[in-house]
Structure 1
Amino acid sequence: MSEQVATAGDDPGEGSVRVVGTAHVSADSVEEVERVIDEERPDVVAVELDEGRYRQMQGETPDDIEPGDLLRGNTVFQFIAYWMLSYVQTQMGEKFDIQPGADMLAACETAEEFGIDVALVDRDIQNTIQRFWARMSLREKLHMVGGLAFGVTDSRVVGLTAGLIVGLIAGPIIGLLGESVFGIGLPIMTRLTGGLLLAVVGSYVLDAVAQQFVDADRSLLYGIGGGLAVGIVGGVGLGLADPLVSAVLGDFAVRIVGSMTLGVSLGVLVGAVAGIAIDVLGLDAGAEEEYEEFDMAELTDTDVVSMMMEEFRQFSPGGAEALIDERDAYIAHNLVDLRAQGKHVVAIVGAGHREGIERYLAEPETLPPMESLTGTAESTGFPWGKLLAGAISVGFVAFFVLLAMAGVRNDFLLRLFAAWFVVNGVFAFGLAKLAGARWSSSLVGGLVAWMTSVNPLLAPGWFTGYVELRHTPVNVSDISTLNRLLSDEEKPLTDLVGEMFDVPLFRLIMIVAATNIGSIVASLLFVTYVLPLFGQELGGLDGVSRLMIDGARNSADLIWGALT
């Protein structure tokens, strides 16, 4: 255990505070907590808990997420951050065979046994996670979420998923620039479309055959890999499906399907290879081995804790400030108040907080104002996202306004807007439903997708999630369920994913993400495929450019005339 120091106030009438630093997953910490409280018999036992976590520890059901909170935008991401922190602690608890938070539970139960008051001195966890998320940079957030993915998901699945997302974005780019830049014309697009047809059929057949010899996880991998091989050789290489493609699909559809096929195929192939390489080389097993190297007795040693805190601070200075420094000050504020009331206090806190809290107790005049430690935190750094979102919104509105000012017919603009509405709506609706959303939730996401694409600061997934939460309660306890499922190393991956989708929080995250991805992909497809098709009516790219210049000139003349 770390050294425990009793800190008294300057006024003789003040009480004292003894800070006990614990490891939240240490059986030794539980014994030490019980012993210190028994020896000291303080007036108050202060614990590093807030009201919500205390009620959850007592077996009460946590509060549900309010649907309106989801519309604030970062609620889902904050739950992911909370999930990451909870998962790491749960994994360590399993390694050392102790329930996470057992030290705090022991402190509360021992205090109640001796009739001692318990003080909850930590900041509300939702406030902490919100500030933690807001203080992290975009790079740190991506790193953190990626670390969670590799820690809780098979690396092969992570690779395939990442490849699929990259491929969905790359497909429209290939469709836009393929012929002019890469020489990928209609004949190649026909081969690629035929390759997709054979790949789908081949994947289904090979997966069914492979299931007779290997487990479901491997059969799925073999099916996808084999299907891609069949599609590449038989469809792209030999053109076996070309007659069928030419007879059924038109040139426009072939161009869309072909370019998306190339983008997604390349993305999935590269992602799968990367995932298999990570799995074979064991590059995602470092965290597990690292747990086993820890001696639990060392986790409360000052030098070890300081080193771990410093490493986290180097990874995310802003995140460390919200998760460690601010909570040190918040807890110290409450302990100083208890001491000023003449109370003899034993404070049970994580070892990482002990040094900072004791420094504030010794010099309470250095404490920051309490109001600076609560409330919503603003994101740090330059608001590139807001700037980009504003530029997209202005550009979209300007495009329609300039065409209108150039004299383009209203029926053309209405058809163009209708196409924008339909393309965004279909993709957002379809992916939301595929992720398990209700019909009503998917419909709402589809109906607002056109608007959220115009203003990226909004997201159709928030609205889909809002409606979903009206019917399906989601709360913090779902994280414990997810951690329990993920700790089962024997369960087949397909069964694991199915059971995870049965957990409301995971399904909500997937629905929100799928709806947003659908809208993003739809916007790319519209700009790449649909807009050029409409542009042909106006004389192609050159014609559209001339009309927008004419519209700008007419707008300037109108404004100048009004001013003069």
Structure 2
Amino acid sequence: MSEIIVVGTAHVSKKSIEEVERIIEKEKPDAVAVELDFRRFEALIGKRQDINLVEIIKKGNLFLFLFQLILSNLQKRLGKETGVNPGEEMLRAIGKAREIGADVLLIDRDIAITMKRLWNELSFFEKLKLMYHLFKGKGEEFEIDEIIEKNLADLFIEEFRKISPKAAKILIDERDMYMALSLLNASKKYNKIVAVVGAGHKEGIERFLRNPPEIDIRQLVEVKEKKISVLKIIGSLITLFTILLLISILIKLGTSEFFSALIFWFLINGILSSVFAAIAGGHVLSILTAFFVAWLTSLSPLLAAGWFSGVVEFFVRKPTQEDLERLIRAESLRDMYKNKAFRVLLVAALTNLGSGLGTLIGLWYLSTHYGINIKDVILEFLSFDPIWIETFFNE
């Protein structure tokens, strides 16, 4: 029967690196398994990664990508304080495996799949809460000894379980299950395996090794199509209310007031979107783009002002592959902010935020300024009273 030895490490600890090398040297396994997927392995060995910023913007993955950058940045900061690069223990484990002639196994789930499953599972408010805690953590002093003892993963595990049991399930429990199943599959080929994983995963993996889960590993890599979120439904309803309000102004108050309302709508949305694009450090062309398109994108649930300002920012700044690689390696928020690639993402994200605020404020302003109750507009629309149309044409 194959022997599987699970070694828990702290990702930013010199002591952990020495322990990993000692155990591999002592056990001399046929294979060394590491808590990496192919993407992270390539990143660790310095292989160039192709990232398409325009596609990230178009597909609406802005905040997911920024979330991943913040997580990575926080881990790098901890590594800098201890003098150990994140993932160094994995590289040393791989190096030691090659030194003794053992095979190297990458047993973790693709990070992109993990993050997509997590992002799809979290509610809007859970995402906000999580981002808040991560940003808050950047301004705090960490007790490095505590981190080394408990492991960075443990700190995240505790926080994720407080914020959302669903998040902990995706980030921790599912990955423990996936890595355990990967090890069990590998044990059919190798007599002895040393698995090097974060300390926060050790207990879960060992539990699943003792009692293998009755689940097909393919189920753990499925990424379901995004279901319509409550936020999108609310956004679509706000768009509908706005259109109905404008139609109501046209029919009840006439074309003069209607065009006046459109101008207010244009200015409120444009000013807020462009101000937020400017806060992001956008180029003047990106700011102008945000100003001129926001009024229209706010009237369509299928469009976003940030798509346009972000793409303009991309073509004006022309971030290179080197900028993207520097962004991934950034060690502080200041480094990230100075980066051209990050600026593109930030302009797109903040433009969308400004546009969203502009829509809400614009809806409130039109309703109060023109004395039209949104509730009445909705009720009239639902009843579809032909008097609306007759009144308009009779005028």
Normalised-by-shorter TM-score class = 0.7 to 0.9
Q: Distance in 2 between matches of 1:308 and 1:77?
A: 19
1:138 is aligned, of 107, 111, 124, to 124
Q: Is the 8 A contact 1:17 1:344 kept in 2?
A: yes
Deviations along 1:147-176, whole A, 9 cap, x unmatched? 2333335xxxxxxxxxxxxxxxxxxxxxxx
> For residues 111-157 of structure 1, what are the alpha-carbon distances to aligned partners after superposition, in whole Å with 9 as ceiling and x for unaligned?
2223332221112222222222333333432222222333335xxxx
How far apart, CA to CA, are the structure 2 residues paired with 1:77 and 1:414?
35
Q: 1:388 aligns with which of 230, 234, 250?
A: 234
Query: Which residue does the alignment assign to 2:324?
Result: 475
**Which sits farther off after the overlay, 102-111 or 449-458?**
449-458
1:429 is aligned to: 274
Equivalence for 1:149: 135
1:555: which partner in 2? Answer: 386
Which residue identity does 1:428 align to in structure 2? S
Aligned counterpart, 2:90: 104
- Contact kept? 2:153, 2:198, Cα under 8 Å: no
> Helix, strand or coil: the match of 1:454?
coil
Distance 1:359 1:412, change over 3 A: same
Stretch of structure 1 that moved more, 129-138 or 52-61: 129-138
Identity value in percent: 34
| Letter in structure 2 aligned against 1:475 | L
**Partners in 1 of 2:198 and 2:63 — Cα distance?**
25
Q: How does 1:24-173 map to 2 (within 5 A)?
A: 24-73=11-60, 75-153=61-139
Unaligned stretches of 5+ residues in structure 1: 1-7, 9-14, 154-284, 487-495, 559-564
Distance 1:469 1:43 in 2: 48
| Residues 135, 379 of structure 1: 8 Å contact kept | no
Q: Paired residue for 2:339?
A: 503
Residues 39/386 of structure 1: CA separation in 2 closer, same or farther (3 Å cut): same
Deviation at 1:342, TM superposition (A): 4.2
Matched, 1:518 2:354: yes
Aligned to 1:208: none
Structure 2 CA distance for aligned equivalents of residues 553 and 105 of structure 1: 67
1:324 positional shift: 0.6
Distance 2:300 2:77 in 1: 40
RMSD, matched Cα: 3.6
Measured after TM superposition, the shift of residue 20 of structure 1 is 1.6
Which residue of 2 is the match for residue 316 of structure 1? 164
- 2:246 equivalent to 1:400: yes
3-state SS of paired residue (1:436): coil
Q: CA shift at 1:414, angstroms?
A: 4.5
Give the distance between the partners of 1:476 and 1:91, measured in 2 at CA: 17
The equivalent of 1:337 in structure 2 is 185
**Aligned residues between the structures:** 384
Which residue of structure 2 lines up, in the alignment, with residue 171 of structure 1?
none
2: CA distance between counterparts of 1:321 and 1:551? Answer: 43
**Are the equivalent residues in 2 in contact too, given 1:136–1:379 (CA < 8 A)?**
no
The partner residue of 2:304 within 459, 471, 476 is: 459
Paired with 2:382 and 2:94, the residues of 1 have a C-alpha distance of 72
Task: Tell me: CA distance 1:414–1:449, structure 2 relative to 1, closer, same or farther (3 Å).
Answer: same
Cα distance per residue 1:333-362 (max 9 Å; x no partner)? 222221223453221111111222222223
Matched with 1:376 is: 223
Residue 337 to residue 444, structure 1, CA distance change in 2 (3 Å): farther
Give how far 1:407 is off: 6.5
Flag the structure with larger Rg.
1
| 2:393 matched residue in structure 1 | none
**What residue in structure 1 maps to residue 392 of structure 2?**
none
Query: Residue in 2 aligned with 1:230?
Result: none
Residue 29 of structure 1 and its aligned partner are, at CA, apart by 1.6
- 1:362 pairs with 2:210: yes
Structure 1 residues 113, 72: CA separation in 2 closer, same or farther (over 3 Å shift)? same
Equivalent residues of 1:453, 1:520 under 8 A apart: yes
Q: What's the CA shift string for 1:210-236, capped at 9, x where partnerless?
A: xxxxxxxxxxxxxxxxxxxxxxxxxxx
Deviations 1:297-318 (A, max 9, x none): x337xxx987984564233211
Q: Is the 8 A contact 2:273 2:353 kept in 1?
A: yes
- CA distance 1:313–1:552, change in 2 (3 Å): closer
One-letter code aligned to 2:358 = A
Contact 1:392–1:455 (CA under 8 A) maintained in structure 2: no
> Shift of the alpha carbon at 1:90?
2.9
Instruction: Determine whether 1:346 maps to 2:184.
Output: no
Deviations 1:495-518 (A, max 9, x none): x5xx55321344234312431243
TM-aligned CA deviation for residue 46 of structure 1: 1.4
Q: Deviations over 1:45-67 (max 9, x none)?
A: 21111122111211223332441
**Counterpart residue identity of residue 520, structure 1:** G
TM-score, normalising length: structure 2? 0.81
Matched letter for residue 11 of structure 2: H
- Give the direction of change, closer, same or farther, for the CA distance of 1:309–1:442 in structure 2 (3 Å limit): closer
Contact 1:425-1:449 within 8 A present in 2 as well: yes
**CA distance in structure 2 between the aligned counterparts of 1:89 and 1:98, rounded to whole angstroms:** 10
**8 Å contact from structure 1 (residues 135, 377) kept in 2:** no
- SS across alignment from 2:386: helix
Give 1:325 deviation, angstroms: 0.9
1:225 alignment partner in structure 2: none
Alpha-carbon distance between aligned partners in 2 of 1:31 and 1:352, rounded to the nearest angstrom: 18
Q: Supply the distance in 2 between the matched residues of 1:416 and 1:64 (Cα, whole angstroms).
A: 42
Runs of 4 or more consecutive aligned structure 1 residues displaced over 6 Å after TM superposition: 304-308
Give the direction of change, closer, same or farther, for the CA distance of 1:431–1:505 in structure 2 (3 Å limit).
same
Distance in 2, matches of 1:550 and 1:116, equals 71
Q: Is the 8 A contact 1:81 1:133 kept in 2?
A: no
